[in-house]
Amino acid sequence: MSSIHVSTPFARHGLLYINSGYTADSARPVYAIQPGASGDISLPEDMTHNDYIRWSHPTLGSYNPSTLVYGDYHYTLLDRGILICHDARTGAEVYPRTRVSPGGSLFTASPWAYNGKIFAISEEGDTYVMKTGPEFELLGVNSLEEWTLATPAIAHGSLIIRTVNTLYRIAEPL
């Protein structure tokens, strides 16, 4: 693991996904772990999987944003605005490092997904909307024009976004 851990572990497809990616460290791993192991399941340096670690990648981890699994895909959003897609079950690369924002925006908030789309809000308050699936496609950008660091919350059918000065609630009309 890297020396500083920020992102949140989560479970999907019967696997526990753990991500650690402090940018100043050379080790920035991601692990997809099958629950049920006991004892030391650490990988030797030359291995990427064992009986309980289904797959791993030594430098895929992101620093602030948590990774995201949506459908069959594992998405990593790096702080510098680069999105990478892997197969969630095997770790095979689906598409390589792709810049989300042409201007090189920074990202602290974790991405989220809904209705076949990935959303990632930059520190500048721009939400990048991308198509899910095996090919990267930027569908649009929506701007709040305000500094945004917090990951949006999803609760009771609403998306709640906190910027430096404003709290937004987005929901379908009743």
| Stated length of the chain | 174
Contact (Cβ atoms closer than 8 angstroms) between residue 85 and residue 136 = yes
In this structure, of 16-30, 48-62, 112-126, 145-159, the range with the lowest mean pLDDT score is 16-30
Residue the block writes with tokens 């500048």? 124
pLDDT tens digits along 107-123: 999 999 999 999 999 99
Query: Which pLDDT value is given to residue 46?
Result: 85
pLDDT reported for residue 28: 86
From CA 120, how far away is CA 159, in angstroms rounded? Answer: 13
At 65-100, the pLDDT tens digits run: 999 999 999 999 999 999 999 999 999 999 999 999
Percent of the chain with pLDDT over 70: 100
Is the distance from CB of 161 to CB of 167 less than 8 angstroms?
yes
What is the pTM assigned to this prediction? 0.92
